[in-house]
A and B are shown apart, each in its own frame.
Chain A
């Protein structure tokens, strides 16, 4: 562990407090031992010194005792009295009588000196020596001194003791402080270690949690991304959506397979750059497309534009492109990505719907104009309002029938046969189908032609019902037509012939019906129409050239 690599010196003295106490006690004991030893040494030295003094005195007073000279003995004694430690000195003769002596106040010389070994009496030391000369005993010496005085000894040991005590105290203080410091350090160290462990645990826990969360998020994100990608792929495929991404800086384009397919391009056709895509846009739509892209980027809006493309096979398609730009931190557009969809079918449907609506509007307006015309024409010929009403409603009814027929065939190519059959049906319904004969090849009529011919046959049938074949029980109507391909253009010849009806006289005044048939019908088809009011019945011959509104069935 890097933290515990450096160890302070006190950390190695783990037993510092007890060691300190031991050192202090050791010092004290050593001091005591030295004091005892010193005391003993001092006593021994004092004894030797006293013994030597006694020996010297003994040697010195030998002559004085031999010659019985007490004065000389006194001189030696007084010389010793100069030593303050000497309390009493006595020189005794061979009989033990005091010859010369000295004693300090408070001390007393013994009356008889008995030579013996040195004796210690409290603070006092007594030495006795025999005075001999050539093995002859002459007398004895008595010396009494004090050992070191208490004050002096105290002074002598006091300093050392104080030093020892101070050293002990110092050691103790140092030891204690060392110990407490070591304790504090240990505590601190323990706390630090504990805290380190906690922090480590916390850090690990955080790291683990973060890692776990990251892993979870990553896993979730990956799963979600995978799912999204799959869904996107599915959606793209199901919707036949192409996807694209454009780098706005390098103008590089990344286009999916479907995107290429939208433009009729295979995987190896060049479509790596924006310019290559732009070239595929229909020239008339390029300005619009570029403007849409520029505006989407400038306005930070979604791009949605539709344009045409001409595939390499020459097919014109409508493409819907949606996209969105991605901006960098400075707000500059860096990329653009989106989808594409072939909307040709929708566009065609829209165009078709638009055309249908236009056509519907046109037809309604034309029909209203037709109704207006019928009303106007009917009014001009009807003498009374009831006559007008009957004729007007009948014509409107015929018009409605023509529309029904056209609706059946979706306003494309109503059959001439049906037009005539439907118009004459009310007269057949009387239970005599033999009265009417309708026959001819299949001819297809445009909407206007169907309406006009319906109105024409309505007028003919109405006239027949009023004055002609349908007005009697035996009257017959034959309608036949054929194709005359000898002329240019080919023409359809239609003949309406009434038979078995009452005698017919030409009308005094041409009514709306005959005007409409002879003039209106002929002009509309750019053809010829003859209406003959013959004695056998009405005969109407129409020669209508083939045109956009009148065609032979394929």
Chain B
């Protein structure tokens, strides 16, 4: 069965090594290609700013060691790259500006990640 997400290039922004590795593993299982994993906002911004780096979608941890991930989210929006949030603070912890963005509450299962990712990546996936 060909997942609609198969082969999509996904950027992961997550500061906790263990959680990042798990997301990586899950995406791997889903069939996505993990483009990069950024542990900091600056690293994330650098990656998004790299025009040469093809990104179909992103999973963003909201809180990166005290820093908010929103600058990365804005940059992704500017590039028209869809993304979802992954947060340990609950849905209420997300800024009003991004309240409409789908968010996964940690801890979550691979199936939930797949469904939510599919909901935002459906359009780009169709184009590809």
CB A548 to nearest CB in B, in angstroms, measures 5
Q: Are A515 and B21 in contact (CB under 8 A)?
A: yes
Q: How many chain B residues have a CB neighbour from A under 8 Å?
A: 28
Q: Are A446 and B65 in contact (CB under 8 A)?
A: yes
Give bound CA distance, A357 to B67, whole Å.
Answer: 19
Is B37 in the interface zone, CB < 8 Å from A? yes
The chain B residue sitting closest to A395, CB to CB, is B18
How many A-B Cβ pairs are below 8 Å?
A: 98
Q: Are A366 and B88 in contact (CB under 8 A)?
A: yes
Residues of A within 8 A of B25 (CB): 376-377, 380
Is A373 in the interface zone, CB < 8 Å from B? yes
The chain B residue sitting closest to A371, CB to CB, is B107
The chain A residue sitting closest to B90, CB to CB, is A361
A548-B17 contact in complex given A368-B106, A526-B39, C-beta closer than 8 Å: no
Residues of B within 8 A of A373 (CB): 18-19, 21-22
CB A13 to nearest CB in B, in angstroms, measures 111
- Interface members, chain B 46-76 (any A CB < 8 Å): 63, 65-67
Give bound CA distance, A362 to B90, whole Å.
Answer: 8
Q: Are B17 and A452 in contact (CB under 8 A)?
A: yes
Residues of B within 8 A of A368 (CB): 106-107
A548-B39 contact in complex given A365-B105, A365-B106, C-beta closer than 8 Å: no
Residues of B within 8 A of A548 (CB): 65-67
The chain B residue sitting closest to A379, CB to CB, is B25
Given B21, B40, B66, which contacts A377 in the complex, CB threshold below 8 Å?
B21
Give bound CA distance, A360 to B66, whole Å.
Answer: 14
Given A376, A515, A519, A549, which contacts B65 in the complex, CB threshold below 8 Å?
A549
A365-B42 contact in complex given A376-B22, A446-B66, C-beta closer than 8 Å: no
Q: Are B43 and A526 in contact (CB under 8 A)?
A: yes
Q: Are B19 and A369 in contact (CB under 8 A)?
A: yes
Give bound CA distance, A525 to B42, whole Å.
Answer: 12
- Interface members, chain A 350-388 (any B CB < 8 Å): 358, 361-363, 365-366, 368-374, 376-377, 380
The chain A residue sitting closest to B89, CB to CB, is A362
Is A448 in the interface zone, CB < 8 Å from B? yes
A361-B20 contact in complex given A369-B106, A372-B107, C-beta closer than 8 Å: no
A520-B66 contact in complex given A362-B88, A366-B106, A547-B40, C-beta closer than 8 Å: no
A366-B21 contact in complex given A361-B90, A446-B65, A548-B67, C-beta closer than 8 Å: no
Is A524 in the interface zone, CB < 8 Å from B? yes
A448-B15 contact in complex given A372-B22, A376-B22, C-beta closer than 8 Å: yes
Residues of B within 8 A of A520 (CB): 17-18, 20-21
CB A350 to nearest CB in B, in angstroms, measures 17
Q: Are A370 and B16 in contact (CB under 8 A)?
A: yes
Q: Which of B26, B37, B40 has the most CB of A within 10 A?
A: B40
- Interface members, chain A 489-537 (any B CB < 8 Å): 515-516, 519-521, 523-526
Q: Chain B 81-93, CB within 8 Å of chain A: the 1/0 string? A: 0000000111001
Q: Which of A362, A373, A521 has the most CB of B within 10 A?
A: A373
CB B63 to nearest CB in A, in angstroms, measures 7
Is B38 in the interface zone, CB < 8 Å from A? yes
Q: Are B17 and A366 in contact (CB under 8 A)?
A: no
The chain B residue sitting closest to A512, CB to CB, is B21
Give bound CA distance, A526 to B13, whole Å.
Answer: 12
The chain A residue sitting closest to B110, CB to CB, is A376
Q: Chain B 3-24, CB within 8 Å of chain A: the 1/0 string? A: 0000000000001111111100
Is A455 in the interface zone, CB < 8 Å from B? yes
CB B9 to nearest CB in A, in angstroms, measures 17
Give bound CA distance, A455 to B43, whole Å.
Answer: 23
Give bound CA distance, A482 to B109, whole Å.
Answer: 40
Q: Are A516 and B22 in contact (CB under 8 A)?
A: no
CB A403 to nearest CB in B, in angstroms, measures 14
The chain B residue sitting closest to A517, CB to CB, is B17
Q: Are B65 and A370 in contact (CB under 8 A)?
A: no
CB A414 to nearest CB in B, in angstroms, measures 14
Given B17, B38, B40, B66, which contacts A516 in the complex, CB threshold below 8 Å?
B17
Q: Are B107 and A448 in contact (CB under 8 A)?
A: no
A526-B20 contact in complex given A358-B93, A549-B65, C-beta closer than 8 Å: no
CB A487 to nearest CB in B, in angstroms, measures 16
Q: Are B16 and A369 in contact (CB under 8 A)?
A: yes
Residues of B within 8 A of A371 (CB): 107
Given B38, B63, B90, B108, which contacts A523 in the complex, CB threshold below 8 Å?
B38
Give bound CA distance, A523 to B43, whole Å.
Answer: 9
Give bound CA distance, A191 to B25, whole Å.
Answer: 119
Residues of A within 8 A of B105 (CB): 365
Residues of B within 8 A of A363 (CB): 88
Give bound CA distance, A446 to B17, whole Å.
Answer: 14
Residues of A within 8 A of B63 (CB): 362
Residues of A within 8 A of B42 (CB): 526
Q: Which of A362, A452, A524 has the most CB of B within 10 A?
A: A524
Give bound CA distance, A377 to B93, whole Å.
Answer: 28
Give bound CA distance, A362 to B89, whole Å.
Answer: 5
The chain B residue sitting closest to A361, CB to CB, is B90
Residues of B within 8 A of A380 (CB): 25
Residues of A within 8 A of B43 (CB): 523, 526
Give bound CA distance, A372 to B18, whole Å.
Answer: 9
Q: Are B39 and A361 in contact (CB under 8 A)?
A: no
Q: Are A524 and B20 in contact (CB under 8 A)?
A: yes
Give bound CA distance, A372 to B108, whole Å.
Answer: 9
Residues of A within 8 A of B40 (CB): 526, 547
Residues of A within 8 A of B90 (CB): 361, 365
The chain A residue sitting closest to B19, CB to CB, is A369
Q: Give the interface of B toward A (CB within 8 A).
A: 15-22, 25-26, 37-40, 42-43, 63, 65-67, 88-90, 93, 105-108
13 A/B residue pairs, CB under 8 Å, sorted by A = A358-B89, A365-B105, A369-B22, A369-B88, A371-B107, A373-B22, A374-B18, A446-B66, A519-B37, A520-B17, A524-B15, A526-B39, A549-B65
Closest 7 CB pairs between A and B?
Answer: A520-B17, A373-B22, A365-B88, A369-B107, A369-B106, A373-B18, A524-B17
